[in-house]
Amino acid sequence: MAQYPTVVGPMLAAAILSAGSWRWLFAINIPAALLLFVLGRHTLPFNKPETHSVPPSIFDVVLNAGVFILLFLSADSFGHAVKSSAHQTQGLIQGLALLVAGMGVIIIHVLRQRRKQQALLPLDLLKIPLFRLSMLTSIGSFSAQTITFIVLPFLMLDAWRISAAEAGLLMSFWPVGTILAASFAGRWIGRYHGGWLGGAGMACLAAGLGGLAWASTTAAPGLTATLSLGLCGLGFGLFQSPNNHTIITSAPSQRAGAASAMIGTARLTGQTLGATLVAMVFVLNGENTSQGLSIALVVACVLSVMAGLASVMRVQH
């Protein structure tokens, strides 16, 4: 059900851009958010807080956020240093300093979490091979998806020079494919190993991204881009539900809440990693060139292949 809005979203955005300014894309979310807030207050059940649970300390939250911030800023600094010859030394030193600081924060964070029963970073779950491989699969897939979603507007509007309405309609083929695949993937959970389902999904995603990379070198989208986007959606839908199911069921029942939270962590980590990688590619090659767009899509393809390999490795566990 969550995929239906993703089908309507691109087409609605295209209709808004055809009739008005891009500012309406943000303004329309204000009444929608207020409506959802009112509906949520009246329909969602109230959960009483557990008396024996201990909330994480502010320091642990800061350390957890600092790890990701420092590492991604380090990657961004290295990317700018390689591009700019004038400030190359300064960029490399800054990137190295951020990397060292990030590794130091990781060490402190892990040492603190190892001594806690209700850790913010669930090291006990990451020790489970099936859980760990499922997390890697999720991170790789969402990184590939984020790279693609960032590249597509540049590709469609700048390289192919199609209208906003055509771009919205073309992008809707991805979520349509996801809906079709998800309807079957839910039935296949339990009948087939999640590792095979995830591997097949990532193979479809990689094939679709390869088709998009080839289509990015042409002057118009054509049938190749349409089929590639649909294939990407099929692959993502085939992977997502079985992978989430494996993450939840591979953890002990008393740690189901932490396992569920790690699904969101993997998604956000993958999205942030994908955005950082595509930013580095744009810095090195230029966001409005066919070469930069093609390289970004190839990077996404490689990430999906790596995610597929991690998924298949789960079969032995």
Q: For the segment 123-162, what is each residue's pLDDT rounded down to a tens digit? A: 888 889 999 999 999 999 999 999 998 899 888 888 888 8
Identify the domain containing residue 71 by its residue range: 58-114
Are 215 and 259 in a shared domain?
Answer: yes
Are 152 and 288 in a shared domain?
Answer: yes
| Residue 194 maps to a domain | yes
Using alpha carbons only, what angle is made at residue 142 by residues 228 and 113, rounded to the nearest 5 degrees? 170
Sign of the dihedral defined by the CA atoms of residues 83, 86, 92, 98, in that order: negative
Does the pLDDT at position 302 exceed 70?
yes
Domain CATH number, residue 263: 1.20.1250.20
User: H/E/C letters for each residue in 249-302?
Assistant: HHCCHHHHHHHHHHHHHHHHHHHHHHHHHHHHHHHHHCCCCHHHHHHHHHHHHH
pLDDT band at 71 (very low <50, low <70, confident <90, very high): confident
| Residue 39 maps to a domain | no
Are 107 and 131 in a shared domain?
Answer: no
Tens-place pLDDT, residues 8-19 = 676 677 777 777
Q: Which residues contact 215 (CB under 8 A, 6 or more apart)?
A: 221, 222, 224, 225, 228
Looking at residue 158, what is its pLDDT?
84
pLDDT band at 38 (very low <50, low <70, confident <90, very high): very high
Domain count, the chain: 2
Are 85 and 184 in a shared domain?
Answer: no
Find the length of the chain: 317
Are 269 and 293 in a shared domain?
Answer: yes
Report d(CA 241, CA 187) in Å as an integer: 10
CA atoms within 13 A on the CB side of 58: 0
> Does residue 293 contact residue 151 with C-beta atoms inside 8 Å?
yes
The candidate with the shortest Cα–Cα distance to 265, out of 183, 142, 166, is 142
Are 92 and 215 in a shared domain?
Answer: no
Looking at residue 52, what is its pLDDT?
66
| Residue 223 maps to a domain | yes
The candidate with the shortest Cα–Cα distance to 170, out of 142, 297, 161, is 161
Using alpha carbons only, what angle is made at residue 90 by residues 84 and 96, rounded to the nearest 5 degrees? 110
> Does residue 240 contact residue 144 with C-beta atoms inside 8 Å?
no
Are 142 and 216 in a shared domain?
Answer: yes
Q: What is the mean pLDDT of the chain?
A: 85
Are 191 and 273 in a shared domain?
Answer: yes
Instruction: Kindly report whether the global pTM for this prediction surpasses the value 0.95.
Output: no
